Structures are given as structure tokens and as C-alpha cells.
């Protein structure tokens, strides 16, 4: 196949989409509540977990007859201690890395937004984003591809990422956000999983090379939302198939950079010169100016010692 054919195929393999935003349903803090990805391809819902704010009262419960006596300070339901880690685990008193400086100019990015509040959840810059890699079926060069992409998104966001090594955890869009037996008393690390169409049928039609979702929790009376973990699935056979091509590593890194952009909250843009364009990563050289502006904002969120 000639060069033109190879280029076309390259486009085919790097179509990517955000599968899952984050949402919450059926919590004691709120009723039906979903996050929506504006202008992107598809999504499914995953549950968010309400987090009790330390020392603050829980929302009042409806009551048929008002009580004449003072209400004692409510305590969180017992089950929360089983589904959330100790509040503030891993939290630093200030952001860990300096805030990223965005390139001059404006625009060039979009954020995933919560359909109820219109807010754009962010990761906590005072807490490292730990990640693990499910390394079964890692394609040639895959470890380096992830390492380079993570370094790029960390530089662009000012968020610290920490490689916690490999895991045997099976990817699951509804994975528990807190897995103390596997990961200890903290939010589960971001799971980056090399997978295949058998394990992850979303890849069966070959439209996507990667899928990503971050997961949020909400807390306090304002229903403040914060991302606490996420998952990236990468279709290992597609990466392996093209690993022998001269620019395979470059392509693979950009696909993973795109997925990491979703992880920290960026949505697709129409501009084909940006990594976050929704139709395919093509002959780019890392994040573009719009991507970098968006990523700098993504990394400029508040600290959340309460979660
Ligand atoms: Zn995408």
C-alpha cells in the first residue's frame, strides 16, 4: 500500500471519543443528575458518590411534621465510610506543581460540562493523580507512549501524575472509585488499560482507538463537583498493528494525549489542528495552542481537602 493509503488508514485508527462523562444518580444529595458531553459522540452514565463534608450538616430530610426540638448534627450514613476513603487522603496544603502558563490568545478548547449545574469538574491540583496500567497485551513501545503522553499533559496542566505501576484490575466503566483492598485508603488511581475488542466491545467496529472517562464526586451544600479518578481504555491490537510504522510511537503518543485531555476535562473541538479535535489526530506535533489553553485551565481548579 502506498503512502497515501497508509495516511488514510492512520486517520481511521485514531478516531477517538469520550465514552463516559461522569454523573450521579440516586444519591442522598441529589436526584437524577447527569453530566453531558457537549458536541461529542457518545456517552454513558456512571454513578457519582456523594461525599460528606467534614463538620458540615447533611441536607435536611423532608419531614411530615416539623420537630420543635433542635436537630442534632447529622452524621453521614454508615455506608459512606465503605465507599469513600478518608477525607483529604494525599492532599497537600497548596497545589503541588506551579500552575501552567497558557499560550497567548484565546479559545481553541471546550470543556465537558455538567448538564445540571453547567459546571466543569476539575482534578484537585493539591493532590497527585495516581495512575496504574493494566499491562496485559501492552503493544510494542506502549509503556513509553503512555509515559510521554502523561508527561505532556502534566506539563500542560500543572497537575502532578504519579505512576503507581501495573495492576491486574479489569477495566470497567463502573469500577468502584474506592478500592481499599487493592489500592489502600485513597481514591482508586486512574486506570489505563490496554484492552481489545473481545474484552471491550466498544472497539469492535474499529471506530475508536481509545476511550476515556473521569469520575466525579459531589459534596457540600453547593454540590461542588471534583474529579477523583478515571479510566482510559486503549485498543492494544490497533496500536500493535501499527507499531512497525516509522511514526507509530508519535501517533500512539498523540492518541493517548487526546485521551488524557478528556481525562482532565476537555471536550472535542472542531479545529483539526488541535489534539482535541473530534475526528482524528493527524500530523500534529503534540498539543496545540488551543489544547494548551484548555489544559492550563483544567489544571487550575480548587483544592478539595474535604474529599
Ligand atoms: Zn475524543
pLDDT-derived band at 194, boundaries 50, 70, 90:
very high
| Residues 306 and 88: beta-carbon distance below 8 Å | yes
What DSSP line would sit under 109-177, residue for residue?
A: --B-EETTT-----B-TTS-EEEEEE-TTPPTTHHHHHHHHHHHHHHHHT--EEEEEEE-PPP-TT--S
Residue 90, in any domain of the structure: no
**Confidence (pLDDT) at 280:** 67
CA of 144 to the centre of ligand 1 (A): 21
Residue 86, in any domain of the structure: no
CA of 259 to the centre of ligand 1 (A): 6
pLDDT-derived band at 26, boundaries 50, 70, 90:
very low
> Is the confidence at residue 63, as pLDDT, over 90?
no
Full domain range(s) for residue 28: 14-51+97-298
Residue 2, in any domain of the structure: no
CA of 81 to the centre of ligand 1 (A): 34
> Is the confidence at residue 5, as pLDDT, over 60?
no
**Confidence (pLDDT) at 51:** 47
CA of 18 to the centre of ligand 1 (A): 5
- Higher pLDDT pick, 228 / 223: 228
pLDDT-derived band at 223, boundaries 50, 70, 90:
confident
Residue with cell 476513603: 85
User: Which residues have a Cβ under 8 Å from the Cβ of 256 and sit 6 or more positions away?
Assistant: 145, 146, 149, 150, 210, 232, 234
CA of 282 to the centre of ligand 1 (A): 13
- Higher pLDDT pick, 217 / 68: 217
Count structural domains, the chain. Answer: 1
Residue 191, in any domain of the structure: yes
Residue 77, in any domain of the structure: no
> Is the confidence at residue 57, as pLDDT, over 60?
no
CA of 87 to the centre of ligand 1 (A): 32
**Confidence (pLDDT) at 111:** 94
pLDDT per position as a tens digit, 254-268:
899 999 999 999 999
**Confidence (pLDDT) at 18:** 30
Residue 69, in any domain of the structure: no
Report, as an integer, the average pLDDT of 183-207.
95
CA of 49 to the centre of ligand 1 (A): 25
CA of 200 to the centre of ligand 1 (A): 17
Residue 289, in any domain of the structure: yes
**Confidence (pLDDT) at 144:** 93
Give the best-scoring range by mean pLDDT among 11-15, 85-89, 297-301.
297-301
> Is the confidence at residue 9, as pLDDT, over 60?
no
pLDDT per position as a tens digit, 67-82:
444 455 555 555 566 6
Q: 85-89: long-range contacts at Cβ-Cβ below 8 A with a sequence spacing of 24 or more?
A: 85/178, 85/180, 85/185, 85/186, 85/187, 86/185, 87/51, 87/54, 87/305, 87/306, 87/307, 88/305, 88/306, 88/307, 89/185, 89/186, 89/187
pLDDT per position as a tens digit, 161-192:
999 999 999 999 999 999 999 999 999 999 99
CA of 186 to the centre of ligand 1 (A): 28
> Is the confidence at residue 303, as pLDDT, over 50?
yes
**Confidence (pLDDT) at 76:** 52
pLDDT per position as a tens digit, 115-144:
666 778 999 999 999 999 999 989 988 999
Task: Write down the mean pLDDT value for the chain.
Answer: 77
> Is the confidence at residue 94, as pLDDT, over 80?
yes
CA of 268 to the centre of ligand 1 (A): 6
CA of 37 to the centre of ligand 1 (A): 10
Q: What is the CATH number of the domain that holds 30?
A: 3.40.390.10
CA of 276 to the centre of ligand 1 (A): 6
* pTM, 2 dp: 0.77
CA of 262 to the centre of ligand 1 (A): 7
CA of 303 to the centre of ligand 1 (A): 27
- Higher pLDDT pick, 7 / 257: 257
pLDDT per position as a tens digit, 79-90:
566 688 999 999
Residue 108, in any domain of the structure: yes
CA of 95 to the centre of ligand 1 (A): 27
**Confidence (pLDDT) at 27:** 24
CA of 263 to the centre of ligand 1 (A): 10
Give the best-scoring range by mean pLDDT among 35-39, 206-210, 238-242.
206-210
CA of 105 to the centre of ligand 1 (A): 23
CA of 19 to the centre of ligand 1 (A): 8
CA of 15 to the centre of ligand 1 (A): 7
Amino acid at each position: 500500500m502506498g503512502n497515501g493509503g497508509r495516511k488514510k488508514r492512520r486517520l481511521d485508527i485514531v478516531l477517538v471519543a469520550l465514552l463516559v462523562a461522569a454523573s450521579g444518580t440516586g444519591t442522598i444529595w441529589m436526584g437524577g443528575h447527569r453530566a453531558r458531553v457537549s458536541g461529542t459522540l457518545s456517552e454513558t452514565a456512571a454513578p457519582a458518590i456523594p461525599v460528606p463534608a467534614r463538620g458540615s450538616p447533611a441536607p435536611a430530610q423532608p419531614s411530615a411534621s416539623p420537630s420543635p426540638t433542635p436537630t442534632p448534627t447529622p452524621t453521614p450514613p454508615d455506608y459512606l465510610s465503605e465507599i469513600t476513603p478518608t477525607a483529604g487522603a494525599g492532599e497537600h496544603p497548596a497545589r503541588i506543581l506551579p500552575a501552567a502558563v497558557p499560550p497567548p490568545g484565546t479559545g481553541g478548547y471546550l470543556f465537558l460540562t455538567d448538564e445540571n449545574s453547567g459546571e466543569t469538574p476539575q482534578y484537585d491540583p493539591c493532590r497527585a493523580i495516581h495512575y496504574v496500567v493494566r499491562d496485559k497485551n501492552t503493544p510494542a513501545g506502549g509503556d513509553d507512549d503512555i509515559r510521554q503522553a502523561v508527561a505532556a499533559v502534566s506539563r500542560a496542566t500543572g497537575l502532578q501524575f504519579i505512576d503507581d505501576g501495573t495492576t491486574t484490575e479489569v477495566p470497567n466503566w463502573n469500577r468502584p472509585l474506592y478500592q481499599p483492598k487493592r489500592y489502600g485508603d485513597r481514591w482508586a488511581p486512574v486506570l489505563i488499560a490496554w484492552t481489545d475488542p473481545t474484552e471491550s466491545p466498544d472497539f469492535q467496529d474499529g471506530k475508536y482507538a481509545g476511550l476515556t472517562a473521569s469520575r466525579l464526586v459531589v459534596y457540600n451544600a453547593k454540590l461542588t463537583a471534583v474529579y477523583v479518578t478515571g479510566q482510559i481504555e486503549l485498543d492494544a491490537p490497533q496500536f500493535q498493528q501499527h507499531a512497525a510504522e516509522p511514526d507509530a510511537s508519535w501517533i500512539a503518543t498523540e492518541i493517548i494525549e487526546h485521551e488524557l485531555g478528556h481525562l482532565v476535562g476537555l471536550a472535542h473541538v472542531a479545529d483539526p489542528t488541535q489534539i482535541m479535535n473530534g475526528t482524528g489526530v493527524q500530523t500534529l506535533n503534540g498539543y496545540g495552542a488551543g489544547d494548551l489553553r484548555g489544559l492550563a485551565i483544567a489544571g487550575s481548579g480548587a483544592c478539595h481537602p474535604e474529599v
